[in-house]
Structure 1
Amino acid sequence: MNFDEILCLTGGFGKFQKILYVWICVPQIFLAFHMLVSVFTGAVPPHSCRSTWPSEGTEASLNFSLSRLSSPDDLLSCTTPLNHSGTVALSDGHPTGSCQGGWEYSTETFQSTIVTEWDLVCDRANLNNMGSAFYMFGLLVGAVVFGSLADKYGRRIIILIGLTIQAVFGVGAAFAPNFYIYTALRFMVGTSISGVIMNAFVLGTEWTGTKQRMLAGIITDYFFGVGYILLAGVAYLIRDWRKLQLAISAPGFLFIFYIWVLPKSARWLMANDRKEEAWELIRKAAQMNGKPLTKDLEMCQVYKTEEKTEVKKKHSLIDLVRTPKMRRQSLIVFYLWFANVLVYYGLSLNISDFGMNIYLTQMIFGLVEMPARTITLFTLNRSRKISQLAFLAVGGTACLLTIFIPSDMSVIKTVLAIIGKFGITASLSIIYVYSAEVFPTVIRQNGIGIGSMCARIGGVLAPMMYLLRSISPQTPMVVCGLCPLLGSALTLLLPETASKPLPDTIEDVEGSNHSEEAGRVIEAPLRKTDVVCSTRTD
């Protein structure tokens, strides 16, 4: 009897698992806060160069400054018009000089942002995008570091460390004395978020029965969406960036009680020969679920046949690209990870470009995540391939259409962006499941690991993509449109995996004569497990 069968006998998704998912899901709200807060803390208000020349009075100078307020993309906001006498020229076409007197910022929407505090406009505007990219790079580093540490030391301890880093460095960022220290602190917050997201998801799935895993995994996504929506309200009430940063970070210290309530992974304990600890947790879970274990069951030896098979032949990352079919599928999946995350954060972090109220747009972008993730529950069972292809096509087409909408039609442009966000969010949910089924068992973890790294690279490039506005204001949305459309076309080359046995070896993927036999071997224990689970849970 393997661990999944024992887990089903104790209740695949009983009271123990439901309480566990409460502890896992609540931090997701704050993860969303940290992931998307730069939309508000890094916003660029309308601004104008302040005159350094003597004027008739302060009020006159102020009126001039306010009359010259412009958008971040308007180069006129980066110069001071001068005339031959050295005084401000309001409307003539005389030569202009670079801004020497600092900047005037509109306070209509924001009291302060990191842009207004450290003048990240014009020749320093790229620093703002680089800061966001550096934060995303923290996610990449965290995925690599905390992923390996979790395999060595366990999921629970890494989640606790991640929550601690998030609270300490998040609060520290609210008191940063300059932009560079702020960026370094945000980098550390980014590393912690990867550690918490990955290991919370793994901890939940390792405690959940086979039948409920897909639904349980999407539950965490819903809570991320809740955080997405709530951030709009919190940012609307708190217009000062330091207070906002503090408001989303300080509650993280409340998670200290997780030391006493968050369980370890019994599956991980079993795999690391800590069986006594594992059985103690299994007994606790069974008791809480109202299905106490019998003594005979406790005496059985838990083992994993897949691990024994893998010992016979070592596999490495090279196997992902060593054979033709496996290479083609691996490269396509890696690209899909990259494109999905690039466009997801490209849209999420730049909602101010669509011309509507930033708080309303943020809330709508959060709300659209709910139906986007829900619809995948119905489409995935029919076809993984068509679902992935269709949602990528919808997202890419909608993003591409925004470039043909005039800037004064902000409502239509925002609606198209929302449709694009819907498609990409659904596609991003699907790629998790699709990847696990495309890669064979012997290299599945390696494949998903490299896919996750490609996703983080997309996250790093998402803020930097908007540097392409120097080429054309429409260029970022062209990229957001073409990347998913290319991914949609490439998905045609992937196999359909819905209602089919998982590939066990690379030979299964390449079409070996043994693949049919391997499929029958895999299906048998699954049917047996399902019978056991359904008998005991009815």
Structure 2
Amino acid sequence: MNFDQILAAVGGFGKYQKILYVWICLPNVLLAFHMMVSIFSGATPPHLCQDSLDPEVHNGTFDYTPLILNSSAADSCSWSQKALRDNRSPPLQCVHGWVYSKDTFLSTTVTEWDLVCDSAHFNNVGSSIYMFGLLVGSLVFGSLADRYGRRFVMLLSIALQSVFGVAVAFAPNFIVYVILRFVVGSTVSGVIINAFVLGTEWTCTKRRMLAGIITDYAFGLGYMLIAGIAYLIRDWRKLQLAISAPGFLLIFYIWVVPKSARWLLANNRKDEAIALLRKAALVNGRVLPPTLQMEKCEIGSQRRHTALDLVRTPQMRKQAFILFYLWFVNVMVYYGLSLGVSRLGTNLYLTQLVFGLVEIPARSIVLFVLPLSRRLSQGGFLAIGGLACLCMLAVPADQQNVLTGLAMVGKFGITASFAIIYVYTAEIFPTVLRQTGMGVSSMFARIGGVLAPMINMVHNHSPNTPLVIFGAGPLLGAVLALMLPETADRPLPDTVEDVENWDTRSPTSASRCV
């Protein structure tokens, strides 16, 4: 009996697993809040230099909103009364600060700390630092999870995320705000990769793809909900508090979230694993095979593995590098399109909602195509996302509806690809390196996340450059995906040797109980 057969005997997707999926989905809703809140909390409303306004504006008796809404970008960042009058004198730089339209936002980080004009780049830099936090978190929490377990690191990440998320709402200045957001970003990685792997390792072969897809549904739900929450709460500090405080309600996870039995076996903690399997069998209405208690179950060797083991052997190395690139390009394009939603020129709240709605059919279609082929599904959806971005190059800038439609198609393809990469990666990396592999993959993903705001920043100087990058990157990924092994309906590899002998090993060669 290998571990997958044991899991099938106790119920590979019974009541026990379904309850577990509820627990791993709830934090993913909160993750989407933290990932997307900057679209609203860091929004730049129409603004105008105070120096260019009439004196009566400053005493608060004059409604300056029409002036702001009708001002051009040049008027917003520099002014000269004489230049405005005869259009000849060079504009002067704004000295006394800006006034902002409160038509859409009562307060954002931009309006509070005047992150406009010469300081506008700080907004994108802040987003990149947040994404860098995800990169650091993927390394730190991925490595810790292979050593201390998926459950422990996930609970630790949720706790830190709640504490520092609330602290962000009280940041006294932009530097402190960025530092706190960096910490929140690192905890997001800790939650997302451990929740996913925990679900995967408790699910039987035929249903394990659901661990990735169902948690992605939860993320998509949060993606849509943040639009409604932000619509109701227009002050960025109150909004940050509203999305962070619910994390404290998850304290009961200490008592309900189980450890990974597969990880326990891989770390020679057989008694704990058998106890958990017995509990799962009881909840699922099954009976644990009685002979299992007397067997010595091992998953691979007991030596400690490190990230270097991902590149020591040829097949593992090839597959790891391809996966690293696929993670990189998926996240770069996913967040490049998501964070660039304000450039589409339509209602921000509505567009955010529609971008979230697109994720539902994207993830749903994955449920139908993924059982047929992981490899072809991954490559096909990457190609759809890349081609949609390249097609946007041929659309005039004034055709906002067409651009938005193509952006939706690109978001659809990349979202589906993003859902697949989680499942595919967990199935390719062996148990002894699965969390480390997920962590390093997530590190490369976060490099893409760090670059996404910077690439969007290039749009002001070269509008076509971001689309070329977001289009060509996925197409290259589609070709590389075809070089990966097919994992559909195959048992999870448990050792590096299983990966090296992928084509020759039998379906029952891994996780053997003797």
TM above 0.5, yes or no, is yes
> How many angstroms does 1:293 deviate by?
2.9
Which moved further from structure 2: 100-109 or 424-433? 424-433
Shift of 1:484: 1.6
The verdict on how the C-alpha distance between 1:125 and 1:302 changes in structure 2, with shifts beyond 3 A counting, is same
What does residue range 344-493 of structure 1 map to in structure 2 within 5 Å?
344-436=334-426, 448-493=438-483
> Is 2:322 aligned against 1:338?
no
Inter-partner Cα distance in structure 2 for 1:58 and 1:432: 54
Give the direction of change, closer, same or farther, for the CA distance of 1:384–1:182 in structure 2 (3 Å limit). same
Output the CA distance in 1 between the equivalents of 2:503 and 2:497.
12
The residue that corresponds to 1:522 in the other structure is 506
Which has the larger displacement, 158-167 or 278-287?
A: 278-287
1:535 paired residue number: none
CA contact (8 A) 1:503 1:519 kept: no
Q: Which moved more, 1:253-262 or 1:440-449?
A: 440-449
Matched residue type, 1:396 = G
Alpha-carbon offset, residue 179 of structure 1: 0.7
Q: Distance in 2 between matches of 1:23 and 1:229?
A: 20
- Give the match for residue 320 of structure 1: 311
The yes-or-no answer on 1:179 pairing with 2:174 is: yes
Corresponding residue number in structure 1 for 2:135: 140
Alpha-carbon distance in structure 1 between the residues aligned to 2:425 and 2:142 = 18
Match of 1:207 in 2: 202
- Structure 1's 355 and 339: CA in aligned 2 closer, same or farther, altered over 3 A? same
Cα distance in 2 between the residues matched to 1:502 and 1:158: 22
Task: Tell me by how many angstroms 1:220 deviates.
Answer: 0.7
- Matched residue type, 2:323: V
Aligned length in residues: 513
Which structure 2 residues correspond to residues 24-43 of structure 1 after superposition, within 5 A? 24-43=24-43
Name the residue aligned to 1:170: 165
TM-score if structure 1 supplies the norm length?
A: 0.86
For structure 1, which runs of at least 5 residues remain unmatched after alignment?
Answer: 530-538
Secondary structure in structure 1 of the residue aligned to 2:99 = strand
Distance (Å, rounded) in 2 between the aligned partners of 1:68 and 1:396: 37
Q: Is the 8 A contact 1:50 1:65 kept in 2?
A: no
Contact 1:69–1:77 (Cα < 8 Å) also in 2:
no
Judge conservation of contact 1:336–1:431 (CA < 8 Å) in 2: yes
Q: Distance in 2 between matches of 1:440 and 1:196?
A: 20
Shift of 1:451: 2.6
Q: Is the 8 A contact 2:193 2:439 kept in 1?
A: no
Given that residues 355 and 407 in structure 1 are in contact (C-alpha distance below 8 angstroms), is that contact kept between their aligned partners in structure 2? no
In the aligned structure 2, how far is the partner of 1:32 from the partner of 1:233? 13
Per the alignment, in what secondary structure is the counterpart of residue 48 of structure 2? strand
Uncovered stretches (5+) of structure 2, i.e. residues with no partner: none
Structure 1 stretch displaced more, 497-506 or 110-119:
497-506
CA–CA separation in structure 2 for the residues paired with 1:443 and 1:207: 17
From the superposition, tell whether residues 238 and 441 of structure 1 become closer, same or farther in structure 2 (CA, over 3 Å). closer
Report the Cα distance in structure 2 between the residues aligned to 1:449 and 1:59, rounded to whole angstroms. Answer: 55
Distance change (3 Å), C-alpha of 1:301 and 1:503: closer
The 5 A counterparts of 1:15-164 are: 15-51=15-51, 55=55, 58=58, 66-69=66-69, 74-83=73-82, 89-90=84-85, 92-164=87-159
Q: Check whether the contact 2:133–2:185 (CA below 8 A) recurs between aligned residues.
A: yes
- Counterpart of 2:237 (choices 242, 257, 264) is 242
For residue 441 of structure 1, report the CA deviation from its aligned partner.
8.2
Name whichever of 225-234 and 211-220 sits farther off. 211-220
Q: 1:295 to 1:450 in 2, by over 3 A?
A: closer
Q: Please, what is the CA RMSD of the aligned residues?
A: 3.2
Q: Note the C-alpha offset of 1:523.
A: 2.5
The 3-state SS of whatever aligns with 1:523 is coil
Alpha-carbon distance, 1:181 to partner? 0.7
2:185 aligns with one of 176, 181, 190: 190
Asked whether the 8 Å contact 2:362–2:413 carries over to 1, the reply is yes
| Separation in structure 1 between the aligned mates of residue 341 and residue 254 of structure 2, nearest angstrom | 38
Map residues 248-327 of structure 1 onto 2, 5 A cutoff: 248-293=243-288, 295-304=290-299, 307-308=300-301, 317=308, 320=311, 323=314
Structure 1: distance between partners of 2:306 and 2:34:
37
> CA 1:421–1:151 in 2, change beyond 3 Å: closer, same or farther?
same
Deviation at 1:444, TM superposition (A): 6.6
> Percent identical across equivalent pairs?
58
Whole-Å separation in 2 of the counterparts to 1:283 and 1:329: 35
Shift in CA distance, 497/45, structure 1 to aligned 2, threshold 3 Å: same
**Is contact 2:327–2:445 with CA below 8 Å preserved after alignment?**
yes
Following superposition, the deviation at residue 52 of structure 1 comes to 6.5
Query: Offset at 1:242?
Result: 0.8
Change (3 A) 1:49 1:136: same
Secondary structure class of the residue paired with 1:428: helix
One-letter amino acid matched to 1:149? L
**TM-score normalised according to structure 2 size:** 0.90
The change in CA–CA distance for 1:441 and 1:110 in structure 2 (over 3 A counts) is closer
How far off is 1:89 after superposition?
3.2
Q: Report the alpha carbon displacement of residue 140 of structure 1 after superposing the two structures with TM.
A: 0.9
Structure 2 Cα separation of the partners of residues 375 and 417 of structure 1 = 18
Q: Which moved more, 1:450-459 or 1:116-125?
A: 450-459
| Partner Cα separation in structure 2 for residue 127 and residue 191 of structure 1 | 20
Structure label with greater radius of gyration: 1
Moved more, 157-166 or 33-42: 157-166
